[in-house]
Structure 1
Amino acid sequence: MRVQTEEWRRFIPGVRMYKGKKTLFYNGEELYDPETDEYLIFNLGERNSWQVIIVLPGVEVIPDDTFTNCKNIKTVIMADTVKRIEPAAFNDCSSLVYMRLSRNLEFIGECAFYVCKSLTSIFIPPSCRKICRLAFFGCKKLIILHVPQGTELGDNVIEDTALIKALPFEPSQPNDINNWIRNQNMTPEWELHRACSSYNPIQEIVYGIVKRKGIKAFHEKNSIGITPLQYLESNPFSNIDQKQIIKQYILEMMGEVV
């Protein structure tokens, strides 16, 4: 589910059906008290009926444990005003598959996505300065993780994930894994993977690489078994039309004017 920012202007907070799915339009309220283990505003049954969370414009912080144990949420889309995701904010959202982060996100707290075991990919924006320890612990299907090189990473960020199991080397130093996370696809061999997995893929750059390497490069697997096409298809910030790239490539190879 993709939501255009201009659509959000007419939304008000609350729960309603949206595009056939039960959706919470979230306005930044505290929904859970971790000290008393008490659900605020909405009871557990209501929380477990949500399928989509849309974080409305104006929200800057998602507080601790806000969506803890919301087990049927599949999609989260954040307005670009969000700057912080506090600890355990999405703890044990076990059905979460699609996450579109704020473009201005600065901080992801400890255990923020703890045991989100259906999450397969996440793309971190360049604005994010820090991801705390265990942020994605137990995200067993997480295999695609784009992290900017300047982002500080805590300990065991990807512990017990598909990505850690696919690690193409044996770590010898405590920071080896974090360095690898930030520098995936940085060798010339994986330049198309790098272009497609970036926070803001640029169609002209992607096409230029495909033109040099051929269409088959879209299907080449990198050291963890991911293709450039998989990166593009998973990337919520990508507006690249793969079919258009392939069409342009074929026409140029045939000597047609594009």
Structure 2
Amino acid sequence: MKVTTHEWQKFVPGVRMYKGLKTLFYNGEILWNGKCFGNPLVHDKKERQSWEQIVVLPGVKMISSWTFNRCKSIKRILMTDSVQRIEEAAFSSCTSLVFVKLSMRLEYIGKAAFYDCSSLYSIFIPMSCKEIVPEAFACCSKLLIFNVSSHTMLGISVLHSTDLIERYRNRYEENEVHEWIRNMNAGEMYILHRICASENPSLQAINAVIPAK
């Protein structure tokens, strides 16, 4: 099925305006496999560049390699909890991306999955994630907040050329920064960070740390 622009009345695969953004409701279709020249899977490039938001529909277990590569207008990605894997370069070079809601059952983030998402400031990795492979968030130049469990395996250069790495370049080797990131939530000084990054942060828990004004 080819994805085309249409004003849908229900949340079904296709493109429509949703919360003020031109949104693709994604059903797992392979939209692009990274081979641009002569590839019939490449749909209307102008259409791809117009998408501002991706909503992954229930039942989708994997975001295939290169699916949303260079969709430069995407600002938000919202995943249902069926997604378990994000494959290589799935969202690479989405340079307007500022918000990602990952599946709480996500297990794997592939190579360069979010490479060069240069507007992305923060990302919260669910506890279910077992592995993030090399360069998954490399060249996300503004990325400063990276919340991840201590049991998640981090590949080489996962955060290469991010603001977070650059700030500690002179104090740690990159592999030491990875170790620090994996364990930062265990420290007492990061208790507020840990609460806010939890699956269900509560106002009561936050106010216990910072009294409500």
The two structures have a TM-score, normalised by structure 1, of: 0.73
Which structure has the bigger radius of gyration? 1
Q: Deviations over 1:68-116 (max 9, x none)?
A: 0100000110011000000100010000011100111000000000000
The alpha carbon displacement at 1:41 in A equals: 5.8
Taking a change above 3 Å as real, the CA distance of residues 41 and 18 of structure 1, as seen in their structure-2 partners, is: farther
Give me the identity figure in percent: 47
Please say if residues 138 and 161 of structure 1, whose CA atoms lie closer than 8 Å, have aligned partners that are also in contact: yes
**Which has the larger displacement, 24-33 or 40-49?**
40-49
Name the structure 1 match of 2:53. 52
Long gaps (5+) in structure 2: 1-9
Name the structure 2 match of 1:90. 91
Please give the residue correspondences for 1:18-33 in structure 2 after superposition, counting only pairs within 5 Å. 18-33=18-33
Name the structure 2 match of 1:210. 210
Letter in 2 for 1:53: I
Please say if residues 26 and 54 of structure 1, whose CA atoms lie closer than 8 Å, have aligned partners that are also in contact: yes
Distance 2:192 2:33 in 1: 45
Name the structure 1 match of 2:132. 131
Please say if residues 33 and 40 of structure 1, whose CA atoms lie closer than 8 Å, have aligned partners that are also in contact: yes
Report the aligned-residue RMSD.
Answer: 1.9
Aligned residue for 1:22, secondary structure, equals: strand
Please say if residues 36 and 42 of structure 2, whose CA atoms lie closer than 8 Å, have aligned partners that are also in contact: no
The alpha carbon displacement at 1:36 in A equals: 5.2
Letter in 2 for 1:70: C
Name the structure 1 match of 2:4. none
Count of matched residue pairs: 203
Please say if residues 146 and 199 of structure 1, whose CA atoms lie closer than 8 Å, have aligned partners that are also in contact: no
Distance 1:186 1:33 in 2: 40
Distance 1:72 1:147 in 2: 27
Name the structure 1 match of 2:79. 78
Long gaps (5+) in structure 1: 1-9, 212-245, 251-258
Distance 1:97 1:88 in 2: 17
